Amino acid sequence: MRRRLYQGRDYRRAQNIEELREMARRRLPNFSFEYVEGGADDELTLKRNRAIFESVTLQPRTLRDVGQRRLDRCFFGTPAQLPFMIGPTGFNGLLTRDGDLHLARAAAKAGVPFVLSNASTTAIEDIAAVEGVRAWMQIYLYRTREHVARLVERVRRLNLEAIVVTTDSAIFGNREWDKRNYAKPLQLDLRNRLDVLRHPGWIWDVLVPDGVPRFKNLGDLLPPGKDSVKGAAGALAAELDPTLSWDDIAWLRDIWHGKLIVKGMIHPEDARLAMQYGVDGVVLSNHGGRQLDGAVSALETLPEVARIGRGRLEVFLDGGFRRGSDIAKALLLGASGVLIGRAGLYGLAAGKGAGAAHAINILRSELDRTLGLLGCSNLDELSPDLIHAQHWRTLAEAAQR
């Protein structure tokens, strides 16, 4: 009998993130799934983000007592139940109604932080009201800095812990496969309009009765009546600022006194600069392969950045995480923690909030099993000698010195 993944729609039967991905692909219209899935240009970076994990081979220990295992990790001195969090992803209202609320509740239940995207269809105030949530806010430094300052003030009033500023989108990446779905900007071509009609469940969930979802954190930035996912794109593109520099990080540091995390760097020298400008943490990221095609993966630059920031900087990363063993490899190479993007969205699209929670549980279970099979009872026992590939082991040892 030929092997194949589960072909049904019951997210509870998904045994891994790839099966949730296939369920999401079947449930969503093509244009919506393509927005989640696609990368820039030839998608070389997108593919590299996944392929790089295969080069990090593990060398487990045996005859160690792993009967009790712990997966908790502190971020900025505050415990989290798992060493990963839900990273910022925009337009989630196009996957399911109130998508960000579903993700925030799943994160709160799992005891991990949730980072709300600036391009969210849920207001930060509604996220902050979720019981037990540890909410962080992602922002872009738009040209209209008065809007940014007002958003920072909203975050301050809600007493949120951290702001995550994304810096790698000052120029918009060339996402060709996404653009091919449109006859002209934001107008689906005939093939995709017909495809939407083939997904009545999605239509009733997302579009009925209020139509296309609306941005809830960008109201004072957008022209009147242009706050829908469809209508705002032109205005947002005009707000991207290619003159963005470290001076703008200094400005943000001056008006925000909570934890400040810079997301989107990939070069070790930028980590040095981040510390000079008073940044508390960084997220190594190539924007999920959606910006510069041919860029290095975050995992490849992680050990050097971890070495530079050791004891002074929380070093997170994202990009390509689909297995608990992927997360373990990042921790072995010096990461403080990992941001989950598409993996959570596949669960969300497949089964709403319960599907997102199932995606988190899959990763938790895989990470727990990986930890035990490595011969470790907690994350602090992860050490470079558990890496077999000599190149990676050498880098991991340097990161821990």
For residue 229, the model assigns a pLDDT of 67
Q: How many of the other CB atoms lie within 10 Å of CB of 371? A: 24
For residue 225, the model assigns a pLDDT of 66
For residue 320, the model assigns a pLDDT of 97
Residue 207 counted as domain residue: no
Residue 88 counted as domain residue: yes
Residue 384 counted as domain residue: yes
For residue 397, the model assigns a pLDDT of 92
- For the question of residue 199 being annotated catalytic, the response is no
Q: Per the structure, how many domains does the chain have?
A: 1
For residue 233, the model assigns a pLDDT of 65
For residue 357, the model assigns a pLDDT of 98
Residue 53 counted as domain residue: yes
Identify the CATH number of the domain in which residue 107 sits. 3.20.20.70
From the list 102, 257, 267, 287, the catalytic residue is: 287
For residue 236, the model assigns a pLDDT of 75
User: 44 and 326 in contact (C-beta within 8 Å)?
Assistant: no
Q: Domain range holding 94? A: 11-175+237-400
Residue 59 counted as domain residue: yes
- pLDDT means over runs of 10, the chain (401 residues): 87 97 97 96 97 97 97 97 97 96 98 96 96 97 93 97 95 90 86 96 94 86 70 72 95 98 97 98 97 97 97 97 98 98 98 98 98 98 95 90 83
For residue 239, the model assigns a pLDDT of 84
Residue 185 counted as domain residue: no
For residue 215, the model assigns a pLDDT of 87
Residue 135 counted as domain residue: yes
For residue 1, the model assigns a pLDDT of 81
